Structure 1
């Protein structure tokens, strides 16, 4: 599980894909949840970052 941190909130995704312009976030069914341009993405973290185990920054 991943969390995309945005200026106005967070999005949870099961997978992601990076391209030249931003990050595509995907749900458990493999469907596209959102495209987030890099200029709007503050961080992309794994769930382990929230558990305190180790950071999972993109």
Structure 2
């Protein structure tokens, strides 16, 4: 699972693809969730890297 961090919130997705202008986010059924321009993307986090630790990553 990945978490796209934006100025106005967060979007959770299972996979993503890079494009020239931003990233495309997809859910576990491979359905398109959102397009996020690079200019509004603060971070893209792989949630597995943080395990079950509940501390803030921001």
* Short-chain TM bin: 0.7 to 0.9
Q: Which residue of 2 aligns with 1:31?
A: 31
TM-score, structure 1 normalization: 0.83
Paired residues in the alignment total 53
**Aligned ranges 1:1-58 → 2 under 5 Å:** 1-51=1-51
Which runs of structure 1 show a deviation greater than 4 angstroms over 4 or more consecutive aligned residues?
Answer: none
Normalised to the residue count of structure 2, the TM-score between the two structures is 0.83
Gaps of 5+ in 1: 54-58
Distance apart, 1:48 and its partner CA: 2.7
Which has the larger Rg?
2
